[in-house]
Structure 1
Amino acid sequence: MSGTRALPDTLRGWAERETGPVKSIRDASHPRENSRVWELVRADGCRYYLKISPNARMYQRETFALRHAAPALGAGRAPQLRASSAEHLSLLTTAVPGRPVKSLALSAAEEYEAHRQAGLLLARLHAAGDLTGHWRTEAQGALRAAAHGAERHLREAGDRLTPAERTLVGRLAAELCMIGPLPLGFIHGDAWPRNLIWSGHSAWLDFERSRFAPVAQEFVQLACEVWADRPQLRAACFSGYGRELTSEESHALMCLAGLDAVSALVWGESHNDPLVAARGRRTLDRLMAGVFA
């Protein structure tokens, strides 16, 4: 939990070889067991973040993103990687000015602009990286892989779902496998207001779920978490993005939302996170009512 973990001395020494002596260290972890992040501040006020990735795959994804894709967002629009340690699954990055949009009380105009710039940055990110070889193969198979995970999610959901809801999610998974080729790109993978930073300019943090995939997958959390009540923020995001989703992308997004809903419902209840569970339940209710957009 935030505020309870001390930075190991070995990692402090590793970080200070890059940053120089630090004056203060603050636990900046999210309130979950596998989040381990510290803010390091030098005497001159320069700030860095040291993060221990939850696992090797997330470490590899975030390291790759910060080296090869995130720089395309522009100066101050994503952290810069200063050092990484595969031995400790640790990354040392610069700090990005601002605070998460989720924690700010923005005016309607500021919030619209933050989401417009968020879309602009996602467009840059999606065009970054070298989408060749096994990266392209993995991206092309991402929808089918997601669909194949539906059976496990449905099994874990148990009696949390009605028979009609099970039938709906199963149908959406089957339809996902039949969707034709979609635009591919390098996605952030966890794009929602907790990871969107605002300082008068937008920036994205936390690239541990980034990967090459159909770009429609980028918008699942926004569609399920934000856009249901705030259609103006959807308009803002796609205004910055430079285009609307195609009809096939929109259908894929709806199918993916169904899978995400079951996953969120199971995860939220099993991890005592009522907000995540509520997101899943609400998305299922919208899909059942035919009002998901």
Structure 2
Amino acid sequence: MKYRRLGNSGLKISELGLGSWLTYGKSVNNQTAYDCIHKAYELGINFFDTANAYENGRAEEVLGEALKEYPRSSYVVATKLFFPMGPGPNDRGLSRKHIMEQCDASLKRLGLDYIDLYQCHRFDPEVPMEETLYALDDLVRQGKILYAGVSEWSAAQIEKAAGIGKACQLRPIISNQPIYNMLERYIEREVLPVSTENGMGQIVFSPLAQGILTGKYKPNTEKPADSRAANDSVNFVINSYFRDDVLTSVQKLNSLAAELGVTLSQLSLAWILRHPGISTAIVGASKPQQVEENVKAVDINLDHEVLKEIELILEEIKDFAPRR
């Protein structure tokens, strides 16, 4: 495994992290989840991502249980808040009240004394940004979190937060967690440059486009019965990728990967890690073998000709905007 600094902070995290969205506490049984987490740790992954809203806290509980046998200093836990955790008007968002209460709740579920990276899962237009940033800074002062980050914030929101932080002498936000893969590249236009300028690293999720960039889905064919795409409880995030032109281009990428002697998953992850603004890519896993395959991507270097060929294939996809 290789490690990168998270933005301009001193925190070093593995180039691949393990996430728990739509898997742990949900579609994957606990023992399998423990096996995946233990395999990731064994292979050098030290960054583990979750959120309070993932199965209403169950994902945090599973992660905390799996990690408790390891030295606390040897891993980095990131969790998030924003989405509803109850029916009340203050059970959601980024108010000071919700931030303070949910931090304590996450610490309890994780079984930890502190959270390494606490992230705003989305931007909250109903709360003054100053209120949110001061609350996060206070959590750092209290020792409940070590660093703060955001997720899926726009370039303008990131720039504003950085400006407020500097003006008020608050500890800086060190990361943004956006979706990023070969098919969804919106962050390249503004988010990446603005984040880099303000010392923030990118923790990207869905690097394999929810399994599309594994090559297992073929154009003009039925979804495999045992695949995530066929699982009605989680396939809502995959359906937008199911266009014949997208799947045809993915098969061309698959052929290119085969020529290079790697899997499409490994090629897709190496393509993401080519960018110095990316600190880590979060992979999901429902089997330990998937973790073993994915970690090999950190040793793959893509030369200019291969990157050019990838771009030519991706240019064949027209007007594709899955969720924006």
Question: Could you state the TM-score of these two structures normalised by the residue count of structure 1?
Answer: 0.30
Higher helix share: 1
- The TM-score normalised by the length of structure 2 is 0.28
